[in-house]
């Protein structure tokens, strides 16, 4: 802990630049305590300019490392360094290895087998449902679900994992004490209690736009593979895919409607060689996950809906017409003969959990 207070204080000043100086400084001085105490410019440590070093010397006069670390810990935030035994092993083999991670929750989850599930912040009903299905089933079979706690697909994946008794890791693009987006506070609190929230940004770091592409390499780096549920042609989720490919991770994509802008990203990925998946079993049958197939088979029925036997009314043109894409009630009216009973039939189907009504009198299969 004595060494960590100096490392944390230095990280507050250097930020992510410390990643590239970490090994050189430690090798040159032997410890970060010695780095903190020296005044000599480390001319043998490549990459640190004199101006940057002089700014560090000035900063030391204003910051007490022990008080700084105590303040961090009072917020419920803990730190782990690259040389700690429980540092995420997979992150030691990626480009730009983090020298320090801040976390809330159980850090041991970062060394368990994980799948990253990412996607658009503005998903369709289909995308949200599939994110919950994949995350719920796979987390129930022992995989940790990693994502970025963004709106849409990310938070749906986190919540589905927790709802099914699984584990999840949220990697933030800000300090852990500066939650973004704020609307995900409830999900964040659940994650820190039952899962793990991580960030390589020091506490107090705002959610700057440039931070999110940087953090994406951590999401993919923690995982054995990345699944893209929905993403537009130009999407931050595709940056995570680029990171995954650079790191030698598997990439999976969920096909969607070719006319939906949210499906263009996954469809293009499939064109370029990503594996298309249509159910959680497709993930578990992959070689990287096969060793866990027995567990999957044992728990495969968990979370499945009971099969419902439809009567003649429910086998009507209404159910046959509905799909994962929203359909307006006016469209349904043109597909049935008995228009007077349409709302009664819709109500029956909704009560049985077979369909769902969306705002604006749109309906989809559930």
Amino acid 300: pLDDT: 44
- Say whether 225 sits in a helix, a strand or coil: strand
Residue 345 belongs to domain with CATH number: 1.10.10.10
**Are 143 and 292 members of one domain?**
yes
Under 8 Å between Cβ of 131 and 153: yes
Does residue 90 form part of some domain? no
Instruction: Return all residues near 112 (Cβ < 8 A) that are at least 6 apart.
Output: 144, 167
For the chain of 366 residues, list the mean pLDDT of each consecutive stretch of 10. Answer: 91 96 91 92 80 94 96 97 96 96 98 97 94 95 96 97 97 97 97 98 96 97 97 91 96 93 95 95 83 48 42 60 77 74 78 79 78
Does residue 271 form part of some domain? yes
Three-state SS for 104-141 is EECHHHHHCCEEEEECCCCCCHHHHHHHHHHHHHHHHC
**Are 138 and 286 members of one domain?**
yes
Under 8 Å between Cβ of 80 and 100: yes
**Are 45 and 138 members of one domain?**
no
| Per-residue DSSP letter, 260 | -
Under 8 Å between Cβ of 252 and 224: no
**Are 1 and 141 members of one domain?**
no
**Are 289 and 330 members of one domain?**
no
Does residue 20 form part of some domain? yes
Residue 175 belongs to domain with CATH number: 3.40.50.450
Domain boundary among 47, 70, 93: 70
**Are 153 and 283 members of one domain?**
yes
Domain residues for 329? 317-365
Of 203, 162, 202, 208, which is closest to residue 184 (Cα–Cα)?
Answer: 162
Does residue 282 form part of some domain? yes
Amino acid 232: pLDDT: 93
The tokens for 79 are: 């730190």
What are the φ and ψ backbone dihedral angles of 165, each rounded to 5 degrees? 75, 15
Amino acid 359: pLDDT: 80
Domain count of the fold of the chain: 3
Amino acid 42: pLDDT: 81
User: Rounded to an integer, what distance in angstroms lies between the CA atom of residue 10 and that of residue 4?
Assistant: 10
Does residue 203 form part of some domain? yes
Does residue 88 form part of some domain? no
Amino acid 44: pLDDT: 67
Compute the CA torsion angle 227, 231, 233, 234 (nearest 10 deg). Answer: -100
**Are 118 and 250 members of one domain?**
yes
Amino acid 16: pLDDT: 96
**Are 278 and 353 members of one domain?**
no
Helix H segments across the chain? Answer: 2-14, 18-29, 32-37, 50-60, 65-74, 125-140, 153-163, 185-194, 211-221, 236-246, 264-271, 280-284, 293-299, 317-321, 329-333, 342-351
Does residue 235 form part of some domain? yes
Does residue 89 form part of some domain? no
């Amino acid at each position: 802990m004595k060494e960590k207070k100096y490392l944390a204080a230095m990280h507050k000043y250097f930020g992510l630049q410390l990643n590239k100086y970490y090994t050189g400084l430690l090798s040159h001085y032997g410890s970060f305590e010695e780095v903190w105490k020296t005044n000599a410019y480390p001319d043998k440590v490549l990459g640190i300019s004199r101006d940057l070093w002089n700014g560090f010397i000035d900063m030391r006069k204003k910051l007490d490392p022990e008080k700084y670390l105590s303040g961090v810990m009072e917020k419920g935030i803990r730190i782990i360094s690259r040389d700690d035994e429980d540092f995420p092993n997979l992150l030691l083999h990626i480009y730009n290895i983090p020298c320090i991670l801040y976390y809330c929750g159980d850090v041991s989850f970062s060394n368990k087998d994980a799948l990253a599930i990412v996607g658009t912040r503005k998903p369709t009903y289909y995308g949200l449902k599939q994110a919950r299905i994949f995350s719920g089933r796979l987390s129930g079979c022992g995989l940790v679900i990693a994502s970025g706690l963004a709106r849409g697909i990310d938070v749906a994946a986190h919540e589905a994992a927790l709802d099914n008794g699984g584990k999840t890791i949220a990697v933030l693009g800000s300090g852990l004490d500066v939650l973004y987006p704020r609307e995900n506070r409830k999900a964040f609190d659940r994650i820190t209690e039952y899962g793990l929230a991580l960030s390589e940004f020091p506490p107090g770091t705002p959610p700057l736009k440039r931070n999110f592409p940087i953090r994406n390499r951590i999401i993919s780096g923690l995982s054995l593979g990345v699944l893209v549920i929905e993403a537009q042609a130009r999407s931050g989720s595709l940056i995570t895919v680029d990171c995954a490919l650079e790191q030698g991770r598997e990439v999976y994509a969920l096909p969607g409607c070719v006319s939906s802008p949210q499906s263009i990203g996954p469809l293009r990925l499939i064109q370029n060689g990503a594996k298309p998946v249509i159910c959680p079993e497709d993930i578990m049958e992959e070689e990287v996950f096969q060793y866990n197939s027995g567990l999957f088979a044992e728990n495969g029925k968990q979370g499945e809906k009971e099969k419902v036997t439809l009567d003649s009314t429910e086998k009507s043109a209404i159910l046959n017409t509905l799909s994962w894409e929203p359909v307006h009630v006016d469209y349904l009216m043109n597909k049935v003969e008995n228009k007077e009973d349409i709302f009664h039939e819709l109500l029956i189907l909704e009560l049985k959990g077979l369909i769902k009504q969306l705002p604006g009198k749109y309906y989809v299969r559930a």
